[in-house]
Amino acid sequence: MERAAPHQVRSGDRQHLIPVTIHQGSSELLAAIPRVFEGVSVEVFDAAGAATACFGLPGDDPDRVRADLPHGALVASVPKATPELQALVASLLATVAERERLEGDMESMNTSSLRLLEQVSMFGETLPRLSAGGDDAEIASLGVRACQRAAGVQQVVYLGLQQSKGCCEVVVHVAGDALRGRTPVELDPTLPVAGFLADVLGVEEGVVLRSVVDARLGELGSVEYLAEHQVMGVPVTYGAGDKRVTLGALLLVDKAATYGRTAEESQLGNEEGQVAESFAAMLGAVLGARKTAAFGKELAMARTIQHQILPEKPVVLGGFDIAARYYACGAVGGDYYDYVPLADGRTMVVIADVSGHNLASGMIMVSARAMLRTLASVHDSPKQVFDNLAVRMFDDLTRTERFLTAAAVALRHDDGAVDYVCAGHNDMLVYRAATDRVESIASESTILGFLRAPEYGVRRIQLAPGDCLLLYTDGITEAMDDTGTMFGDDRLAAVFAQLAPNRSAQRVIDGVVSELETFRRGMVGNDDVTAVVIRYDGPGCQHRTEAGERR
């Protein structure tokens, strides 16, 4: 939103240029008031009470009408006149003040959206560079510098955990431009795992935040002592559950000054926490994969990557019963499924397949997952998410000679109207309870990585209670038995039609996998197998416990 230029006003026989601190449209509305109502003038005051603009010339001994602005006030001088005129001027001022509040809200929303999109772009640029890093120190430096820019903080530190020694070593310490020319606060090269650092390394989920109250935190030489205002920390890990290993800690120190706010007024919050967690996850994935590969543990490396990008448990959504299964054919798989919140409150069930079955495929999928989740947080439509994902993934996919197919179904709580978008993925199967038949929704769209900026369409599908959707990867339909015969699309549709009626999503997907294993007759597949079943039971239906039984 543009601000008004300095507005020329007359005071006595002199002219002054006084900067107007309100938006152009509001300035024009205020300038019209003295032209319409003779003798009425309006002054604009800033938060400190200083006049910044005046429209019209005040008369003798006028009545004053006031309306508060977000950062100041509007005051009108009204000649002794009828109460109706005073009420009308008061209403006009209140309207202008409300307009200013709305303009301010829109500016804040636009700034936040742009910042999120910039972060998405930075995530996409950073991960391939991390994967190509020469050693752990170079990888950490790339990640830390990108995190410092994305979070807009003054300092970022990455500490490597030395578990056997009970301490952490400073690997990278980056400070922003705001600290140049100042005497730096030095960090000890080796720090004990105690206090704030112990809290960060011990957290299972989320971040740890500390604020300076009276004196600096911690002892001289510690990370928390760097903070003049706040310090935030998140562990860098890889793996999940009992396989989870802590590699170190990522620390963010003091928010940098932003537009309209000093560094003292700016605060670390949820946005910076999300940025820190995203970069910690990227560092953990790359450093963890390298560490595992260095010891020749290819299988453990694959499990680490898959655990980091796949949901830990099914999504719970009113009116729907959802289940998924995934099997990797080798050490590192390229399949993926997820349950992603959209900006409009819907849940997007996503399935995807990257070509290849190696570390590069796995890392491309990690990058796609991070980018897709961030895009979904600022877009209402799965089409917008896929359009932007295609643009931002194009260079990575072409550079690594990969392509990506994906499909998604957007679901709303207790609503059978769902949106379907597809990027060159397998046809989606829809079982209709009313006719006891299976429909195939063909994929007519472009795979990700083929065109730089394709546009995807959204198909609205109306589900009735008992209807069921099946999303799957080609590891199912292209699976072969010992004679070389493929499982095929027709066989899958027939199996789905037999299983879908009156069965839970989990039982349907278990049945599909069982039929596939029987068909293979012990043959090992050469592609990953992933499937998601979405059953619609109607508004208000209760669904599943974690054990898989209907409530």
Q: Is the pLDDT of residue 373 over 70?
A: yes
pLDDT at 2: 39
Which residues, at least 6 apart from 81, have a Cβ–Cβ distance to it below 8 Å?
A: none
Task: From the options 3.30.70.3340, 2.40.50.100, 3.30.450.40, 3.40.50.300, give the CATH code of 133-294.
Answer: 3.30.450.40
- Say whether 236 sits in a helix, a strand or coil: strand
The proportion of the chain whose per-residue pLDDT surpasses 70, expressed as a percent, equals: 79
Contact at 8 Å (CB) between 431 and 463?
no
Look up residue 313 and give its two tokens: 């448990």
b/e map of 123-146 (b: 16 or more CB within 10 Å)?
A: bbebbbebbebeebeebbbbbbeb
Q: Is the pLDDT of residue 480 over 50?
A: yes
Amino acid in position 374:
T
Least confident of 26-35, 186-195, 322-331: 322-331
The CB-side HSE value for 148 (13 A sphere, CA atoms) comes to 19
Least confident of 73-87, 399-413, 509-523: 73-87
**CATH H superfamily, domain 310-536:** PPM-type phosphatase domain (3.60.40.10)
What distance in Å separates the CA atoms of residue 320 and residue 214, rounded to the nearest whole number? 52
Look up residue 119 and give its two tokens: 């972060």
User: pLDDT band at 520, cuts 50/70/90?
Assistant: confident
Mean pLDDT of 494-510: 95
- Give 402 or 181, the one with higher predicted confidence: 402
Q: Is the pLDDT of residue 301 over 70?
A: no
Q: What is the pTM of this model?
A: 0.49
pLDDT at 465: 95
Contact at 8 Å (CB) between 467 and 536?
yes
Mean pLDDT of 41-55: 85
- Tens digit of pLDDT for each residue in 109-137? 554 444 555 555 555 555 566 555 567 88
pLDDT at 357: 65
Q: Is the pLDDT of residue 6 over 50?
A: no
Report the DSSP beta bridge partners of residue 535.
321, 468
Q: Edge-to-edge strand order for the sheet containing 529-536?
A: 320-327, 529-536, 468-472, 428-432, 437-441
pLDDT at 330: 56
Mean pLDDT of 223-243: 88
**Domain residue ranges in the chain:** 7-106, 133-294, 310-536
